[in-house]
Amino acid sequence: MRNTRNNFIAALIVVFMAVTGCEAPDQEIFDEIPNDVALSTTDPTALQAFAVGAYKPLVGTWGAHNSLWSMHEVASDEMAITHKGADWEDGGQWIRTHQHNYLPSEQSIGNGWGYCYSAIGTINNLLKNFGSSELLRSELEVLRAMVYLWLIDAYGNVPIILETDTDPTPPTKTRQEIYAFIESSVLDNIDNLNQTKTYATVNYYVAQAILAKLYLNAGVYKGTPEWQKAADACKAIIDGGLYSLEPNFLDNFKTENAGSKENIFVINYDKNNGVGFNMPQMTLHYSSQATFNLQQQPWNGYASLEEFYNSFDPADKRIGSFLAGPQFSSTGVRLTDLSFEPTDPDGAPLTYTPEINQLFPNSLRQAGVRIGKFEFQLGTSPDLSNDFPIFRYGDILLMRAEALWRLNASSTEALDLVNQVRARSWAGNPLATLTADALLAERGREMFAEGYRRSDLIRFGKYNDAWWEKPVSAASKNLFPIPQGQIQVNPDLVQNPGY
């Protein structure tokens, strides 16, 4: 009897164990907000946060190392990252970039793509969930068009991904198709956009600036120029009257530049809340830490080419875009570099010389003037708070001037616009006539380090020319390669010709 009961208990326990063992446990989340919870909100503040948050993925490439910005700048005649002995060899990436031998495997090529498409993914996820608001939808679609503007310029032939798509391997579209997509995205939405001034978000004038850049480069992007449309888009911004030239050029790039009258759209960097703008680290010599009381030792990387620097007249206030000559600590003590090379002409005292002895392998570590356009606040962390201008009124004036000049080489309005920009920084030296070289040089002086030089060189047909230690390059190099890492995981991507 007793044995039977015990057998029964034993059987019961075994059945209990078998049953509970089969039940699959759920995963609880504690320190994150699951998508279904976050996206089901109706709180207007949370919705606003999602809308403003759409811009967050844009923070972190313009002015950051190993980024799309690095590629645009180092591939141009503005800047190089030389090999300083062992330092900055880094697998040869920066020499390849400067000499237009970039490979699909370059880290910055992959980073640039990831940056753009991560933003597109974020925007599409928001459109999918909050697309019913017309204003939000228009703003997000134009923002997405801006990201495609970066993609068409850098990679050319890329996939178009909409929020409604379900194909996990979206195929490559031609540069012409991308052009049409950007244009229609902006035109379909521009009239819904806010026409008042906004800070670091898309409004009507940002949309016009996107069109202006697209049309100005239409000849490059789709094969047929759209100079009149470019001029018109710029005019819409000028006529809007919301923006004007800052009297002092460099004020547009200072630490607290949120009040700039000139900046139309900026990437909102902040040392605490929007990080990645690491210019002091990227460009300054180690010893310059003492000039700006930097929190961390800089890396001694990016420097400007001598010929480019020499295109600035000493009387042109824009020459303040560089740090050149003897360097001093914040308390006025002459800085020295104890590990100077024996071949350094002025020895240990730290002097940023315009001349760079060579691109590699043993570039002098003090050689080359440095990028000083963006203010380095005393005691700054590696992350600057200066907002990075994407569209700036000064650029709009030069763009309209160029478009008008392309339509009519003797356009007086074009000449006036260029001289308007020039007069602000270089009083008493107006141009008498406009030539291609003069326009390109003026754009160089005005737009240095803002990430447009490569695009300008291509438009002016100079990108494939030889300069300094960069030989003549093939026209196929006008497009960056599609990143190796993306082609590996998306078989429907097509590599650009020449790679």
Partner 1 sequence: MNKFYFIIRFVALFLFLGTSVAFAQKSVTGKVTSGDDGSALPGVNILEKGTNNGAVADSDGNYTISVGNNATLVFSFVGFTSQEIVVGNQTNINVALESDIRALSEVVVIGYGTQQKKEITSAVASVSADQFNTGNVTSPASLIAGKVAGLSVVRPGGDPNQSPTLRLRGITTFGGNSEPLVVIDGIVGASLDNVDPNDIASMDVLKDGSAAAIYGARGSSGVILITTKSGKSGKGSYANINYNGFVSIDQVANKIDVLSPEEFVNRGGTDFGTSTNWFDELTQNGSSLTQNISVEGGSGNTSFRGAVNYRDNQGIVKGVNFQRLNTRLSVSHNAINGKLRLTLGLTHNDRDQESINLSAFRYAVIYNPTAPVFEGAPDDANGGYFQRPLFDFYNPVALSKQQQFVGERKNTLTNYRVEYDLIDNLTLAVNYSTDKETGLNGSYWSKKDLVTGAGSLGQARRDTYDNSRRLIEATAKYAKGFGDLNTEFLLGFADQKQSFEGFAVQTRQFLYDYTGFNGIDFGAIRNGSNTEASSYASEDVLRSTFGRVNLNYKGTYFLSASVRSESFSGFGENEKSGIFPAVSAGVQLTDLFSMGPVSTLKVRASYGVTGNLPPASNLAIASFGPGGILDFDGDPLTSGDQYVSLRQLRDPNPTLKWETKKELNFGVDFGLFDGRLSGSMEYYTRDISDLLYGVNIPTGAPNPFDPINSPANVVGFAWANIGTITSSGFEFSASYSNVKLGPVNWTPSFNFTFYQKANIESFRIGDLGPAELRLATPGSPGQNNNEIIRNIPGQTLGNMYGPIFRGIDENGAYVLSTTNPNDFVVVGNGLPDGEFGFTNNFSYKNWDLSFVFRGAFGHDLYNSYRGFYENRDPGSNTWNSVVTDKTPYVTSPPTFSSLYVEDASFIRLDNLSLGYNLPTKGDIFSNVRIYATGQNLLTITNYTGIDPEVRYSDSENGDRFTASLAPGLERRNTYFTTRTFTLGVSLKIK
Within positions 351 to 410, which residues make up the interface with partner 1, using CB under 8 A? 361-362, 364-365, 381-383
The residue among 216, 204, 261 whose CA lies nearest residue 400 is 216
Q: Which stretch binds partner 1 (CB under 8 A): 18-26, 215-223, 228-236, 417-425?
A: 18-26
122 binds partner 1 (CB under 8 A): yes
The residue among 337, 318, 319 whose CA lies nearest residue 327 is 337
Residue type, 200: A
Q: How far is CA 177 from CA 137, 181, 183, 221, in A?
A: 22, 6, 10, 10
DSSP 8-state symbol, 270? B
Of 68, 73, 78, 83, the residue at the interface with partner 1 (CB under 8 A) is 83
Category of 498 on φ-ψ map: left (φ > 0), alpha (ψ -120 to 50) or beta = left
Two structure tokens written together for 380:
């700054």
38 binds partner 1 (CB under 8 A): yes
- Which CB, 161 or 180, lies closer to partner 1? 161
232 binds partner 1 (CB under 8 A): no
52 touches 199 (CB < 8 A): no
Category of 443 on φ-ψ map: left (φ > 0), alpha (ψ -120 to 50) or beta = alpha
Q: What's the min distance (Å) between Cβ of 116 and partner 1? A: 8
The residue among 496, 88, 125, 114 whose CA lies nearest residue 298 is 88
How far is C-alpha 374 from the chain's CA centre?
14
Two structure tokens written together for 316:
């042109």
Within positions 459 to 498, which residues make up the interface with partner 1, using CB under 8 A? 485-486, 488-491, 493
- Which CB, 57 or 225, lies closer to partner 1? 57
337 touches 323 (CB < 8 A): no
The residue among 219, 147, 222, 223 whose CA lies nearest residue 185 is 147
Residues sharing a CB contact under 8 Å with residue 211, sequence separation 6 or more, in sequence order:
183, 186, 187, 190, 229, 230, 233
- Which CB, 385 or 478, lies closer to partner 1? 385
Q: Which stretch binds partner 1 (CB under 8 A): 44-52, 232-240, 315-323, 464-472?
A: 44-52
- Which CB, 105 or 310, lies closer to partner 1? 105
The answer to whether the peptide bond before residue 104 is cis (omega within 30 degrees of 0) is: no
131 binds partner 1 (CB under 8 A): no
43 binds partner 1 (CB under 8 A): no
Of 190, 245, 294, 367, the residue at the interface with partner 1 (CB under 8 A) is 294
Q: What's the min distance (Å) between Cβ of 22 and partner 1? A: 7
- Which CB, 17 or 475, lies closer to partner 1? 17
Q: Which stretch binds partner 1 (CB under 8 A): 120-128, 243-251, 406-414, 453-461?
A: 120-128
Q: Which stretch binds partner 1 (CB under 8 A): 203-211, 239-247, 330-338, 401-409?
A: 330-338
345 binds partner 1 (CB under 8 A): no
Q: What's the min distance (Å) between Cβ of 231 and partner 1? A: 31
Rounded-to-integer distance, Cα 398 and Cα 384, Å: 27
Residue 349 forms beta bridges with which residues? Answer: 336
- Which CB, 285 or 445, lies closer to partner 1? 285
- Which CB, 40 or 433, lies closer to partner 1? 40
Within positions 249 to 288, which residues make up the interface with partner 1, using CB under 8 A? 258, 268, 270-275, 286-287
Residue type, 307: E
Of 1, 20, 331, 472, the residue at the interface with partner 1 (CB under 8 A) is 20
Residue type, 395: D
Q: What's the min distance (Å) between Cβ of 481 and partner 1? A: 15
How far is C-alpha 114 from the chain's CA centre?
13
**125-158 as b/e: b if 16+ CB within 10 A:** ebbebbeeeeebbbbbbbbbbbbbbbbbbbbbbb
455 binds partner 1 (CB under 8 A): no
- Which CB, 163 or 262, lies closer to partner 1? 163
Within positions 94 to 113, which residues make up the interface with partner 1, using CB under 8 A? 107, 113
Rounded-to-integer distance, Cα 292 and Cα 384, Å: 12
Rounded-to-integer distance, Cα 50 and Cα 28, Å: 24
Annotate each residue in 134-153 with x if it binds partner 1 (CB under 8 A) or - if it does not, as one string. --------------------
Rounded-to-integer distance, Cα 85 and Cα 62, Å: 28
Q: Which stretch binds partner 1 (CB under 8 A): 28-36, 202-210, 211-219, 453-461?
A: 28-36
Annotate each residue in 168-207 with x if it binds partner 1 (CB under 8 A) or - if it does not, as one string. xxx----------------------------xx-------
Q: What's the min distance (Å) between Cβ of 461 and partner 1? A: 31
Of 12, 91, 184, 476, the residue at the interface with partner 1 (CB under 8 A) is 91
Of 12, 17, 378, 409, the residue at the interface with partner 1 (CB under 8 A) is 17
